[in-house]
Structure 1
Amino acid sequence: MTEFLQALRTQRWDDHRYYHHSRINQSLHLLSALSFLCAYGLLFEDPALAALLAWGVSMSSRQAGHFFFEPKGYDEVNQATHEHKEAIKVGYNLRRKVFLMSAWAAMPLLLWLQPSLWGWIEPATDFNGYWHDVGLAWLALGVTGLLMRTVHLFHLYDVQTGLVWMCKILTDPFHDVLLYWKAPLYLLKGELIDPMHHARRT
């Protein structure tokens, strides 16, 4: 257990120092984390609504931070190129995220064109039913994406690395609130980039 927790701390630290320099990205992660926590609360009461919130607000804001606001140039703090960081990323790098978010965006269109998914589900009869089906499809996509990358990490590294990453992803909302709750305050002061004094190499 000690080794597992140390590996979890390492993955969390690498994720923060490599991929969260932008204060806008950090602030969007705070919004994402709070939304995810609400979605967690809804999960056992209304899974479809939980997934609509998780993907519609949490994931879209989180990934917008990475795609549009996080610097892509040379990382002076960690002395690493963007390409190097993308190559060594344990979880979903930007290329993999493009595929994941494309699948997310395609789900509503697919259910609009094929409400029964070729006979696999009972087709929705109204607009509320349609969005209920979209929510369940997004929930299935989230679970599938989590499990597929976890198993992939089993093969790339080892079982512990995959399980640590899965644990990190599931608990990130709690950790991100603690880590980034001050980010909007820094933005109000005009600080767009975290100087990352705590992460700089000596």
Structure 2
Amino acid sequence: MIQFFETLKKQRWDDHRYYHHSRINQSLHLVSALSFLTAYFLLFTDPIAASLLAWLVAMTTRQSGHFFFEPKGYDEVNKATHEYKEEIKVGYNLNRKIVLLAIWAAIPVLVYFNPVFLQKFVALNTFTNTEGFIRQTGLLWLWLGVGGVLFRTFHLFFIHDVEAAFAWMTKILTDPFHDAKIYATSPLYLLRGQLIDPMEHIEYDEENLSSIKPS
């Protein structure tokens, strides 16, 4: 268990130092985290509403921060190129996210134009109004979220190992709690005009070519 938590800690640290330099991105992650936490509570009372909140608010704010605001040039803090960071990313890099988001965007189109096709594979009821369409879409988005996490976890079994896979799944499920904590002050820095986190809490080890967090 000690090794598992060390792996989880490293994945969290690498995710922060490599992919969250923009204060706008950090602030959007705070909004995303709070939205996800609300969605977690909604899962117990209205799972479809939780899915709609998670995808339409939490995921859109989270991913727009990565796609539109996070720097993609050479990372001076970590001495790494954007291409290198994308290659070593344990979870969904930008290319994988594009595929996932394309499926997400296609689902309501399929529900609207070809519900009979989906009924052959998913237990969907025929909807007769806008509310029914929205709820059917939300249900499929819910399964997409579950499937997206399980698919990447299963994939990591083979390209990494079981420990790394379960650590990543744990990280994804608990990220809202972690992000709400570490990015709580990001909007304040943004209001002061600081667009990029100087990452002063990171020390670069020239000899080992890695970033280390001071103890």
Aligned residue for 2:156? 153
Does 2:92 match 1:89?
no
SS of corresponding position for 1:132 = helix
Rounded Cα–Cα distance in structure 2 between residues aligned with 1:70 and 1:152: 26
Partner of 2:18: 18
Amino acid at match of 1:64: S
1:70 aligns with 2:70: yes
Counterpart in the other structure of 2:49: 49
The 1-side partners of 2:99 and 2:118 are apart by 23
Tell me the alpha carbon deviations over residues 138-171 of structure 1, each in whole angstroms, 9 at most, x when there is no partner: 0000011100000000000111110000000000
Q: Which moved more, 1:187-196 or 1:112-121?
A: 112-121
SS at match of 2:107: helix
Residue in 2 that maps onto 1:29: 29
Give the structure 1 partner of residue 210 of structure 2. Answer: none
Cα distance in 1 between the residues matched to 2:176 and 2:117: 32
RMSD between superposed Cα atoms in Å: 0.9
TM-score normalised by the chain length of structure 2:
0.92
Distance in 1 of aligned mates of 2:69 and 2:86: 16
Q: Per-residue deviation at 1:122?
A: 1.6
Q: Percent identity?
A: 61
Offset, 1:118: 4.3
- Show structure 1 runs of 5+ residues with no match: none
Q: Deviations over 1:115-150 (max 9, x none)?
A: 233433221111111101111100000011100000
Shift, 1:68, TM fit: 0.1
Whole-Å separation in 2 of the counterparts to 1:192 and 1:119: 47
Give 1:105's aligned amino acid: A
Q: Which residue of 2 aligns with 1:61?
A: 61
TM (norm. structure 1) is 0.98
What is the aligned partner in structure 2 of residue 176 from structure 1?
A: 179
| Contact 1:28–1:61, Cα closer than 8 Å, also in 2 | yes
Are the equivalent residues in 2 in contact too, given 1:22–1:70 (CA < 8 A)?
Answer: yes
Helix, strand or coil for the counterpart of 1:198? coil
CA contact (8 A) 1:91 1:165 kept: yes
Q: In the comparison of the two structures, how many residue pairs are matched? A: 202
One-letter amino acid of the counterpart of residue 99, structure 2: F
Establish whether residue 166 from structure 1 lines up as the match of residue 161 from structure 2.
no
Give the counterpart letter for 1:136 in structure 2.
L
Alpha-carbon distance in 1 for matches of 2:76, 2:119: 54
Separation (CA, whole Å) in 2 of partners of 1:191 and 1:110: 43
Counterpart CA distance in 2 for 1:79 and 1:108 is 42
Stretches of structure 2 that go unaligned for 5 or more consecutive residues are 206-215
In the alignment, what sits opposite 2:104? Answer: 104
What is the alpha-carbon distance in structure 2 between the residues aligned to residue 178 and residue 82 of structure 1?
Answer: 26
Q: Distance in 2 between matches of 1:116 and 1:170?
A: 33
